Structure 1
Amino acid sequence: MDRPISSGTIMARAFLNHRDGTKGGIAERGITPAFAKRQQAQDSIFYYLTLGFALLVLVILGSIMASLIDGAWPAFATFGLGFITTEIWNPVTEQFGALAPIYGTLVTSAIALLIGVPVSFGIAIFITELCPRGLKRPIGIAIELLAGIPSIIYGIWGLFVFAPFMQLYIQPFLIKGLGPLPLIGSLFKGPPYGIGILTAGIILAIMILPFITSVTRDVFETVPPMLKESAYGLGATTWEVVSRIVLPYSRVGVTGGVMLGLGRALGETMAITFVIGNAHRISNSILAPGTTISASIANEFTEAVGDLYTSALIGLGLILFVITFFVLVLARLMLMRMDKKAGG
């Protein structure tokens, strides 16, 4: 009894015949030993070529890590763990501590995510679920154009336009309205400089907005329309469809978009250098000037005199590399936990 031929087999044969271009095609010709051997050789070449590309990434990553460790070793050998846990940064006395740049990097990135993620989700939901058809493309293009603006333009705009606006209107309002409150009041005390950690965080939020929005919108559009139409047919509201259908279905891609934005925020240099104030100190207030790892390296690397000074700056780069690595690992573990929970 002959086995029935599936539709997939028929389609595969038709495709091979079309691509082959000869009478009868590959699917209709007998596979000779020479042909099979040639195909096996091609598969082997393709396998080892792609394996080489994958290993090349690991080699480059390992080389970067090794060079950073070698360059940062004098600083860590001199200061030990105190290089990470102390705030002082004095090139004159050759006393270096990375705590202030680490604090500034983490706080500005957190502010950027707190502002940028909800706004990005709102834009993506509006474009995919609520926006009129004629406006989807213009709004999408406008959001994506934000990603093409150089970071130094964001920095110049932030220094000459946004920082004065913060100094005259936003920061005095925050100091007067939130400064007297318990618990969170200390975050909004001090003079309104205009520049500072909060200003840098808002600029970062604007910069990561197009990345998170674009990825989130594309992921939302992969949700099968039948699922959403079925939910609407059962009487679900738009919010219920988004929260119970769209977000659970696309949680992995959405998390990837957020991690992409976080990586952008952690490593941003020029825009932050313009608006953060570049002060090597830790303040309770997010209105005060501060610094980040990338801003410190950009500001001081060309002026570094002496091996220890240079090693301290390379040590900052190593710390940023480690922070980024652990952020990616935590994101991966979170995705694995989400997948396991969904499977259970």
Structure 2
Amino acid sequence: MEALRRGDRIFRSLTQASAFLVLALLGAIFFSLIAGGFEAFKTFGFSFITTEVWNPVTEQFGALAPIYGTIITSAIAMLIAVPISIGIAVFLTELCPMALRRPIGIAIELLAGIPSIIYGIWGLFIFAPFMQQYVQPALISMFKPVPVLNNLFAGPPYGIGILTSAFILAMMVLPFVTAVCRDVFETVPPVLKEAAYGMGCTTREVVRTVVIPYTRVGIVGGVMLGLGRALGETMAVTFVIGNAHRISASIMAPGTTISATIANEFTEAVGDLYTSSLIALGLILFFITFIVLGLAQLMLMRLEKKAGT
């Protein structure tokens, strides 16, 4: 009996040490970013976040354009990917024939295993020319008479740009969100769906009134998992976003993101201020991710509390 208690204490200590190790690593990364980006914030102050200028020659650096590109590309990607992911998950769990469920599910999961640089190469040489030749001219002509949207979809059609990178990000996060939604949809007790069908509900009504309300916490978790992937994606975005440090009203114009800026310029950074500015960008991305995850946790807590009441 004493040996069993000793083994239990050892197991508890090991698991506790593992949890504290994760916190220690997170804290070490945080303080390293603060120390590395201190010179940039000391030199530029709060204007580092609110300034668009990025000129290594004159050592004038502002993070507004990368912050804008990171948020806009991730938001557009999630707007595209989430409805499609939920639709695929509903099809696989409610409508798809049994013989096709496993092959389609495996094919979607394989998309998650493709390296991001492959998405980037495909996006640059295949998808961007397709966008330039067909999609972007159609969008420009379609929204030209609309007062607000004509600025949002203004030309010329470069092929590369924020919209193209958002489409690539949507393709990359789609398998993650789909896999989570499919798994949580399968946890719905069959008796709930059978009762709804017995009352005369259609499949659409069962999904809307039973499946989605029952699994909304899991759906939010899957969406936040995909959003975290979109915020931190580097190589695929670097290939197709255009890497231009400017903010444009058009989502078809070239732009940049925080991760793409760091990947492109870190090896070329000459001088302490340039390097510190890039590290400061990493710190800002750290804060953006932390805020997104914090808001996700608050949302999940509210949903769980509402479900409990």
TM-score, L = length of structure 1: 0.89
Query: Which deviations, in whole Å up to 9, do the C-alpha atoms of 1:38-73 show, x marking residues without a partner?
Result: 332222222211111110100000000010000000
Q: Could you tell me which residue of structure 2 aligns to residue 324 of structure 1?
A: 289
Query: Alignment partner of 1:193: what SS?
Result: coil
- Give the residue type in structure 2 aligned to 1:325: F
Distance 2:126 2:40 in 1: 39
The match for 1:55 among 11, 20, 31 is 20
Distance 2:237 2:145 in 1: 29
Higher mean C-alpha displacement, 248-257 vs 195-204: 248-257
The match for 2:255 among 275, 284, 290 is 290
2:206 is aligned with 1:268: no
Q: Could you tell me which residue of structure 2 aligns to residue 79 of structure 1?
A: 44
Distance 1:68 1:156 in 2: 30
Q: Could you tell me which residue of structure 2 aligns to residue 225 of structure 1?
A: 190
2:147 is aligned with 1:182: yes
Distance 2:57 2:113 in 1: 40
Q: Could you tell me which residue of structure 2 aligns to residue 44 of structure 1?
A: 9
Check the 8 A contact 1:276/1:289 in 2, yes or no. yes
Query: Alignment partner of 1:194: what SS?
Result: coil
The match for 1:165 among 130, 134, 153 is 130
Query: Alignment partner of 1:111: what SS?
Result: helix
Deviation of 1:223 (Å): 0.8
Deviation of 1:102 (Å): 0.3
Deviation of 1:97 (Å): 0.2
Deviation of 1:184 (Å): 2.2
Distance 1:159 1:49 in 2: 47
Runs of 4 or more above 4 Å deviation: none
Distance 2:172 2:202 in 1: 32
Deviation of 1:224 (Å): 0.9
2:60 is aligned with 1:95: yes
The match for 1:249 among 197, 200, 214 is 214
Q: Could you tell me which residue of structure 2 aligns to residue 138 of structure 1?
A: 103
Aligned residues: 309
Query: Which deviations, in whole Å up to 9, do the C-alpha atoms of 1:134-166 show, x marking residues without a partner?
Result: 000110011011111111111111111111111
Query: Which deviations, in whole Å up to 9, do the C-alpha atoms of 1:276-332 show, x marking residues without a partner?
Result: 000000000001000000000000000000000000000000000110011000000
> How many percent identity over aligned positions?
72
Distance 1:154 1:90 in 2: 29
Check the 8 A contact 1:179/1:187 in 2, yes or no. no
- Give the residue type in structure 2 aligned to 1:290: G
- Give the residue type in structure 2 aligned to 1:174: L
- Give the residue type in structure 1 aligned to 2:152: L
Distance 2:55 2:229 in 1: 29
Query: Which deviations, in whole Å up to 9, do the C-alpha atoms of 1:234-274 show, x marking residues without a partner?
Result: 11111111111111111111111111100110001000001
Distance 1:209 1:179 in 2: 30
Query: Alignment partner of 1:286: what SS?
Result: coil
- Give the residue type in structure 2 aligned to 1:192: P
Q: Give unmatched runs, 5+ long, in structure 1.
A: 1-34
2:32 is aligned with 1:67: yes
CA RMSD of aligned residues (A): 0.8
Q: Could you tell me which residue of structure 1 aligns to residue 162 of structure 2?
A: 197
- Give the residue type in structure 2 aligned to 1:140: G
Distance 2:11 2:124 in 1: 51
TM-score, L = length of structure 2: 0.99
